[in-house]
Amino acid sequence: MDASTFLKGLGHGEIPRVLLFHGSEPFLLNDALRRFTTLLLPDPSGVTLNRELLEAKEVTPETIVHSCETAPFLSEWRLVVVRGAQSLSAKAREPIEAYVRSPNPTTCLVFVSDEPLPATHWLLKILPASGVVDARGLLGAGLVSWLRHYVRANGFEAPEDALTLLVEHVGEELTTLVSELEKVFLSLPPGTNRLTPAAIHAVVGEQRTRSIFELTRAMERRDLPQGLTVLDRLLVAGEEPLGVLGMLTRELRLLWQTKEWLRQGKAAEEIAKLTRRPVRVVEGVLGRAEATSAQTLSRGLERCWEVEQSLKSGGHPRAEMTLLFVDLCQ
């Protein structure tokens, strides 16, 4: 079952003694584990006394079983969480399977894998379907539906077009989406509980501006890892590839023009007037223009033109933009 179904069913039936949470969406994994922990151990002091966190790669299966057999202290339940369950080898199957057949009635054992386990993994074969929680990433209508429920749970309402706009701007990573929603909640006037597209854009639009700034700065510093991360974020968020290309081209053209004006003997104040930018900004451009050869700038502008032609001819946006950024950083 998916994480939403599992969470809805909490408290409405018998609590499973052994569970597996697996998937690629960290927010869903952490949220499911947090809410399950709160259900079992509502008192924070109980969490300290009766929850044990284990790393699968650091313990033996016998250690896991022994921890599960320990009685809870001043509580009805004891919780044992085994993280990194994907690293459990087939050798761990026999003692774990024996425990699953006859689990301690006062202990809940939760395996957590931060990647989806293949259908052939032995954990999926020894656990009932009701004990397996799938926390894969959400897409499309499923993602928008999840966001709508999250918004309502926080006392707000949001039309579908507002949530769709949020996904277009931010991308499909739940942790980032929830973070941006929290900012929107705080930005609403007192007494307002409806998230409109305008409210979304007012907050999230600033992130887009920051991302584009980060991309151009990464290009200037030739910081390839950071630049590719920001580029991917922009494209996943739905930013037009030709628009991103235009930003990079404009920065290269500014460097090329500044280099030429420097050769002509123009001062920073004069260049600032020509570019319509503050003097302090131009002063930062001067150093980069002097440090970059005219041949490099010319080739960079030529590559931008080649990518523009390719994109307009049906080229793959992400591949073209990634190769371009690699070239510009060399």
Structural domain includes residue 129: yes
pLDDT of residue 238: 66
Q: Report the C-alpha gap between 219 and 245 in whole angstroms.
A: 12
Asked if 60 and 146 sit in the same domain, the reply is: no
Whether 54 and 82 have beta carbons less than 8 Å apart is answered as yes
325: Cβ–Cβ under 8 A, 6 or more apart, which residues?
219, 224, 227, 228, 231, 248
Task: Classify residue 77: in a domain, yes or no.
Answer: yes
Same structural domain, 76 and 171 = no
Does residue 100 form part of some domain?
Answer: yes
Q: Give pLDDT, residue 58.
A: 87
* pLDDT of 150 strictly over 70: yes
Instruction: State what percent of residues in the chain have pLDDT above 70.
Output: 91
* pLDDT tens per residue across span 71-103: 888 888 889 888 888 888 888 888 888 888 888
Question: What local confidence, expressed as pLDDT, does residue 237 receive?
Answer: 64
Measured in whole angstroms, how far is the alpha carbon of residue 135 from the centre of its chain?
14
Does residue 36 have a pLDDT over 80? yes
SS3 110: strand
Same domain, 44 and 23: yes
CA-CA distances (angstroms) from residue 14 to 25, 101, 108, 179, 199? Answer: 26, 16, 12, 33, 42
Q: Which two tokens stand for residue 187?
A: 């930005």
| Sheet containing 51-55: order of strands | 51-55, 78-83, 107-113, 18-22, 132-134
Spatial neighbors of 278 by CB under 8 A, at least 6 apart, are 272
Q: Which of 119, 134, 149 is the last residue of a domain?
A: 134
- What's the domain range around 45? 3-134
CATH number at residue 118: 3.40.50.300
- Name the token pair of 221: 């510093």
For the stretch 2-18, pLDDT in tens is 767 776 766 666 788 88
pLDDT by residue (tens digit) across 235-262?
776 677 887 888 788 888 888 888 888 8
Separation between Cα atoms, residue 75 and residue 95, nearest integer Å: 26
The answer to the question of residue 220 being in a domain is no
- Name which of 106, 102, 144, 100 is nearest 123 in CA terms: 100
Please answer whether residues 68 and 106 qualify as being in contact, where contact means their C-beta atoms are separated by less than 8 angstroms. Answer: no
pLDDT over threshold 70, residue 125: yes
Q: Which domain-ending residue is among 134, 167, 185?
A: 134
What is the overall mean pLDDT for the chain?
Answer: 81
pLDDT score recorded for residue 120: 85
In a domain, 233, yes or no: no
Asked if residue 121 and residue 7 are part of one domain, the reply reads: yes
Point out the domain boundary residue: 134, 154, 186. Answer: 134
In the predicted model, is pLDDT for residue 138 greater than 80?
no
Q: What pLDDT is attached to residue 210?
A: 65
CATH code of 157's domain: 1.10.8.60
Q: What is the pLDDT of residues 260-287, one digit of tens each?
A: 888 888 887 887 777 666 666 677 777 7
Close Cβ partners of 58 (under 8 Å, ≥ 6 residues apart) = none
Domain assignment of residue 263, yes or no:
yes
Strand partners, 78: 107
Q: Do 150 and 129 share a domain, yes or no?
A: no
The confidence score (pLDDT) of residue 13 equals 65
pLDDT of residue 139: 75
Residue range 159-216, pLDDT digits in tens: 888 888 787 777 677 877 888 888 888 888 877 888 888 888 777 765 666 677 777 7
76/154 same-domain check: no
pLDDT of residue 206: 58
Task: Give the chain's domain count.
Answer: 3
Q: Are 325 and 247 in contact (CB under 8 A)?
A: no
Amino acid at 247: M
Angle 286-304-279 from CA coordinates, rounded to 5°:
20
Find the length of the chain: 330
Residue 181 contacts by C-beta under 8 Å, 6 or more apart in sequence? 147, 150, 151, 154, 166, 195
Q: What is the pLDDT of residue 265?
A: 84
